[in-house]
Structure 1
Amino acid sequence: MPRTKTMPTTWMPRAAAVLCAGLLLAGCGSSEGEPKAGSGGDTAPAVDAAALDTGSYPTSPAAEFARATTENIVEVEGQRLAEFTVAPFEIDPELISGKMPTMVMRSGKNLGVVIGGGAGDIAANRNMLYGYVSTAATNTPNVTDPSRSVVNAVLRFGNPEDAAATARELQAQLTTVDDGAGVSTAESVDVLPNTLVSTRETDSSAGRTVSVNALTPHGDYLLYSWAQAPAGQKDWTAKAIAKAVSLQGPLIDAFPAQPTKEQNGGVSAEFPMVDQDKILIYAIPEEDAQARLGDDLAAYGPRGMSHRSTNPPLTHRVLTETGSEHNAVAKTTVYRAADDAGARTIADEFAGDLAAQGFTAAPSPQGLPDAKCVTKDTVRGTEIYCMVVNGRYVGEASGLDDKADVDRQISAQYLILEQADQDA
């Protein structure tokens, strides 16, 4: 299922809402002009549009988004790149606990967050354009328990020379500069002749661990993979790195990257559309532009959504099987399946997943029996999720300790989806 915006069970501070749990959700479609029955069928209470409290949230689709501009092309390209970045669970199916950093990398400086030390300066000096990074670990009952984890990143440069030079400079830094955790030792992996590898053993609260860095130049891209495990599982780290590189190369080759001006004969190529598949117009916009951090106000595919999910394999599988090719991420999240049955499948699958986490039913918003809501008390407060299904569309809203606001969000989302193009 998708990530949450502010919920403590997730690992991203700003994100799309998750689906409600423990409730079988039916489709909400009806003939135009007819009163809409609730999800319980013809005998369920009808939606009372006049009773809906939408607060200040918009109740109509947004104007269509234009193409990216020079001001947001880095964010848009990074969001598109997410679909072509291998997710940790694809490297090892047990890597399902999302961690930071998982994000669009809007400049070379962001690499400092991923690798540390002077990595950000090295990438920036080599004019890294943008990238995407995904991080996950195995689930453990306690944070001090031994676990395995992976970081997988794709960094785009203006040319192969800068990508290769960055790999060499990063390898030199890792193997000569002590960033406080010791210096890594250069090694080689037989099956990765073009990859620069270094390893390091350190002590942590979970015991002695071994970590492996791998830098693989790949045309205009630098593939960065990192794996960590208990010291006795060094073989696992080598296998994880090899799997990451073997999957990432072919996947990035399929990415339809925006050509640079130099690559396009000295003239700027037409920029991609911000709203892939015209789905973002149906999500409630994020009010705080700074909260997006390059990741929200986006249209992601199944893999892109899985990076930001509390159950990545489930998210990827369900969205793929239902044909939900692009999914809108803003203040709310909107999915569009290939058909009505697909939307109900999305709702049912994600609902069952949240039910297993202990969420319980909460009252639907006034006038909107079709919306299903759930709550769960956590150390940070009460999490609230609401969802509504309308034909091929699924809308989600979430919040913390403010059920009234979540009710307003999902009520506004319902009215927007009433106007959505079911034949898109």
Structure 2
Amino acid sequence: MLCAGVLLAGCSDTADDQPTAKSGGDASAAAVDPAALDTGSYPTSPAPEFGRATDATIVEVEGQRLAEFTIVPFEIDAQLTSPGTPGKVLRSGKEFRSISSEAADILANDKMLYGYQTNASTPTATNTDPSKSVLHAVLRFNNAQDAAKAAREIHTQLTTVDTGAGVKTPETIDILPNTLVSTSESRYLAGPEVSVNAFTPHGDYLIYTWAKAPAAEKDWTAKTVAKALDLQAPLIDKFPAQPTKEQNGGKTAERPMMDQGKVLIYAIPEQDAMEAQFGDDMAAYGPRGMAHRSINPPLTYRVLTETGSQHNAVAKTVVYRAKDDAGAQRIFDEWINDLKSQGFADAPSPQGLSNATCVTQDTVQGTADYCLVVKGRYVGEAHALDNKKDADQQISAQYLILEKANQNA
């Protein structure tokens, strides 16, 4: 995925000969000419309320909710600010395959319900510079016995079976007696490196942390695993997970609302069904959940927390809702400033919407375009790759939707 601005997302060409917006925000009505807006085929009114999760959506909804209770790598080490892939809902044990194919098979057999994974590394100028990395995941099971069983089986597999990547060395971390640890060494362009796999059963959950560092800094990996567990265990204890039938006396408990903050109804949905099948969008996230998907996680978490933006929608577009108008303006300003600090330049505003600000940058994937607009407590964000017209249409439709949004929610 191409990453631009605040979120990791697919990003967007031709710049129409329109005036460039120099500042954003909720400008006067004179800044908007509804008759001139080009919204393409996008909706211009809020969607109907989503209701409660169903059998078909409960795993995705639970995984999305879990994101807010999964620590972000920069919380473990302030240097871990460069994310790789966006945070991801794991809808089954099989989806752990991108991390470990051997572990994925075991997790599937041991009936993992769902999980959430996140990752980041220390920034480097080139791929020959030494770096440190962390991949962290929280996996939920039916019960504590299944979680502990999966941890033992994966650890045994990693330390006894060579599937082509070598057998991991079992080790211990003195202060983590319940954590199953294995390590391995390898050599890359930056020199010899050491990595550690750590699995810790914690009630119905299995906490997984993988950490990598230059071989000379092996101690950092152990300290990182310990810090991750120290932060993650109490956080996951606060997660209001949907009870299983077993936990609810054999009956299905009332399902959680898909859109608990009633903000997802204001985001433009994906038009391509394939884009909506990964479990991570058509979702509402809090500050930590949004940070997992950001290319500047510390900034995202801090600004959304400080502006009271507890409910934010991710779909085709992104919608943030601050506690007040000033908070929305701050989100807008911070995001635009962050984009420009990464090399994005001003681009023309959409026709009829001069109070929207757009920025653009040529990348190896193509021309990335971002547009943002404020309406009261809400900020709308649109992005496109090699298609500036599409970004303009998205943000124009988004603005019309936000005109109908509940400012007192």
Matched residue of 2:115: which SS?
Answer: strand
> Against the structure 1 CA distance between its residues 117 and 283, is the aligned structure 2 distance closer, same or farther, given a 3 Å change threshold?
closer
Matched residue of 1:164: which SS?
Answer: helix
Tell me the equivalent position of 1:124: 108
Q: What is the aligned length?
A: 401
Tell me the equivalent position of 1:184: 168
> How do 1:282-361 and structure 2 match up within 5 A?
282-292=266-276, 293-361=278-346
Q: 1:140 aligns with which of 120, 124, 128?
A: 124
Matched residue of 2:101: which SS?
Answer: coil
Q: CA deviation at 1:216?
A: 0.4
Q: CA deviation at 1:350?
A: 1.5
Matched, 1:420 2:408: no
Determine if contact 2:89/2:116 at 8 Å carries over to the other structure: yes
Matched residue of 1:412: which SS?
Answer: helix
Q: CA deviation at 1:101?
A: 6.9
* Percentage of matched positions with identical amino acids: 65
Name the TM-score, length of structure 2 as normaliser.
0.95
Tell me the equivalent position of 2:74: 89
Q: CA deviation at 1:13?
A: 7.5
Q: 2:40 aligns with which of 55, 59, 71?
A: 55
Determine if contact 2:10/2:384 at 8 Å carries over to the other structure: no
Q: CA deviation at 1:23?
A: 4.9
Q: Partners in 2 of 1:23 and 1:162 — Cα distance? A: 56
Determine if contact 2:312/2:319 at 8 Å carries over to the other structure: yes
**CA-atom RMSD, angstroms?**
1.8
Q: Partners in 1 of 2:261 and 2:4 — Cα distance? A: 30
Q: CA deviation at 1:217?
A: 0.3
Matched, 1:203 2:202: no
Matched, 1:260 2:259: no
Determine if contact 1:283/1:331 at 8 Å carries over to the other structure: yes
Q: CA deviation at 1:143?
A: 2.3
Q: CA deviation at 1:145?
A: 2.1
> Against the structure 1 CA distance between its residues 267 and 16, is the aligned structure 2 distance closer, same or farther, given a 3 Å change threshold?
farther
Q: Partners in 2 of 1:73 and 1:11 — Cα distance? A: 27
> Against the structure 1 CA distance between its residues 254 and 23, is the aligned structure 2 distance closer, same or farther, given a 3 Å change threshold?
farther
Q: CA deviation at 1:177?
A: 1.5
Tell me the equivalent position of 1:246: 230
> Against the structure 1 CA distance between its residues 224 and 120, is the aligned structure 2 distance closer, same or farther, given a 3 Å change threshold?
same
Determine if contact 2:86/2:294 at 8 Å carries over to the other structure: no
Determine if contact 2:10/2:385 at 8 Å carries over to the other structure: no
Matched, 1:111 2:112: no
Matched residue of 1:97: which SS?
Answer: coil
Mind listing any 5+ residue stretches in structure 1 that lack a counterpart? 1-5, 31-35, 38-45
> Against the structure 1 CA distance between its residues 55 and 279, is the aligned structure 2 distance closer, same or farther, given a 3 Å change threshold?
same
Q: Partners in 2 of 1:253 and 1:242 — Cα distance? A: 17
Amino acid at match of 1:78: G
Amino acid at match of 1:80: R
Q: Partners in 2 of 1:167 and 1:131 — Cα distance? A: 14
Q: CA deviation at 1:22?
A: 9.9
Matched residue of 2:81: which SS?
Answer: strand
Amino acid at match of 1:123: L
> Against the structure 1 CA distance between its residues 78 and 375, is the aligned structure 2 distance closer, same or farther, given a 3 Å change threshold?
same
Determine if contact 1:24/1:351 at 8 Å carries over to the other structure: no
Tell me the equivalent position of 2:153: 169
Q: Partners in 1 of 2:367 and 2:343 — Cα distance? A: 12
Matched residue of 2:228: which SS?
Answer: helix
Tell me the equivalent position of 1:26: 25
Matched, 1:7 2:2: yes
Amino acid at match of 1:167: A
The more displaced of 284-293 and 120-129 is: 284-293
Tell me the equivalent position of 1:405: 390
Mind listing any 5+ residue stretches in structure 2 that lack a counterpart? 13-19
Amino acid at match of 1:392: R
The more displaced of 228-237 and 173-182 is: 173-182
Q: CA deviation at 1:288?
A: 1.9
> Against the structure 1 CA distance between its residues 16 and 361, is the aligned structure 2 distance closer, same or farther, given a 3 Å change threshold?
closer
Matched residue of 2:83: which SS?
Answer: strand
Determine if contact 1:302/1:319 at 8 Å carries over to the other structure: yes
Matched residue of 1:100: which SS?
Answer: coil
Q: CA deviation at 1:24?
A: 3.9
Matched residue of 1:368: which SS?
Answer: coil
Q: Partners in 2 of 1:101 and 1:180 — Cα distance? A: 27
Amino acid at match of 2:148: A
For residues 212-231 of structure 1, the C-alpha deviation after alignment (integer angstroms, 9 at most, x for no partner) is: 11110000000001100010
